[in-house]
Structure 1
């Protein structure tokens, strides 16, 4: 019998939920070890991942500890996917899937994260940095939209792990570049339709239900702000003033 994989995460960030969606799609047993973001650089997690970033997994079935979301996804697809769900084993398709996962890890994640930092969390507004990273976000989305023209999925004729790896960061696009949620994919019809195909799946809905519960347990809003902070503007003001932004009752 397969023992549950332990998944370490802080619920607010996008990267752990890439792994949760894949686990749900593959129906692999797992248990979540949820903890506060303030503790990512502390024991016991720093003994799991010396880089102090989530997610990380401990797999008792193979005595393996692994971190970096892309590496975890690759491992799960290789080790827990005997029916080749979410993947292909033909030469071109296999490497094209890996290509798109690497692009997500090197292009989407860093640019979205840096844009979010300068738009929301940095202690001062730096227009040149905001302009640069917002432009890079839109550039990457443009690459995706052009590629997806006439296609439902990134590779082949079915959903794969390469598609799903993009969903969690794209879902936060409005929070990253501070645009209206209803218009976050404006001018990107292919990306919008692709994203909606993924977020309509049971795996996504289950992952977001779990996230909502864990965020509530930590007193966090859906956007990741502590409860009681009503807007990004208020959050920015508190950060700039050096105030404690931990959850308020």
Structure 2
């Protein structure tokens, strides 16, 4: 089997979801890591015209895909034939798909907006911060209730539905600017669920990979370059670099 190419921006949460699935399934892959400022430029927009990471290119089937949910469903259908992270049964199969839909329509967008308004946007807008921080709490509440008396969202084993939530959940403290030990306060089932997943060797492996790719690009944990303290400064840096490149 030839390795699947996974295009990532290492700072982003979403690119690590397909890497996590590939690692869990033992499917060979290679990472193409690049910086945020080139994601909307050629040659990457020839792969994903939406200018977002991740995207994959699978030489075994000839398919190129972008959008994380579509990528995860493809990897499960194509490479989880033994149902290590999925189920063949009708109910469980569609319940996994349901939770994935909730992750990509609920958790990802709302958590991302919470991070934008709380940590990145240069103007502090209390109403926007409150709205999206409240949405973080609401989504955690949905998950906490669903996990009551259970270890996993669907059935009796870990699935891709569980793993899809892991990366965004891991960064809640940076999104809503709380202490790391407070991010799951009031949500004990989510805290225990997250601990079960992040204690797995695969999680440690991909976080180590992310760490050295971040260092390679000179990035802080929040994704901005070292020495940059706000998104406003980051935008100015990107503009200056683009102007410099245009003069060369």
Separation of aligned partners in 2, 1:88 and 1:107 = 23
Per the alignment, do residues 119 and 18 of structure 1 end up closer, same or farther by CA in structure 2, a change over 3 Å counting?
same
Deviations 1:97-145 (A, max 9, x none): 0000000000000000011111112121111111111101100000000
Q: 1:183 & 1:120 partners in 2: Cα distance?
A: 17
In 1, are the aligned partners of 2:92 and 2:154 still within 8 Å (CA)? yes
For residues 103-182 of structure 1, what are the structure 2 equivalents within 5 Å?
103-182=102-181
Tell me the TM-score normalised to structure 1 length. Answer: 0.93
Q: Which residue pairs with 1:14 in the alignment?
A: 13
Do 2:37 and 2:238's aligned partners in 1 also have CA atoms closer than 8 Å? no
Could you tell me which runs of 5 or more consecutive residues in structure 2 were left unpaired when the two chains were aligned.
240-248
Correspondence for 1:69: 68
Give unmatched runs, 5+ long, in structure 1: none
Paired residues, what number? 239
Partner of 2:237: 244
Give the TM-score of the pair, scaled to structure 2: 0.93
Aligned partner of residue 244 in structure 1, secondary structure? helix
Structure-1 separation of matches of 2:222 and 2:231: 14
For 2:238 and 2:224, how far apart are their aligned partners in 1? 8
For 1:135 and 1:39, the matched residues in 2 are separated by 33
Q: Do the aligned partners of residues 102 and 228 (structure 1) sit closer, same or farther apart at CA in structure 2, a change above 3 Å counting?
A: same
The superposition leaves residues 52-94 of structure 1 with CA deviations (integer Å, 9 ceiling, x where unpaired) of 0000000000010000111111000000112111001111100
RMSD: 1.4
Task: Find the counterpart in structure 2 of residue 206 from structure 1.
Answer: 205
Q: Counterpart in 2 of 1:27?
A: 26
In 1, distance between residues paired with 2:143 and 2:4? Answer: 32
Distance 2:34 2:209 in 1: 14
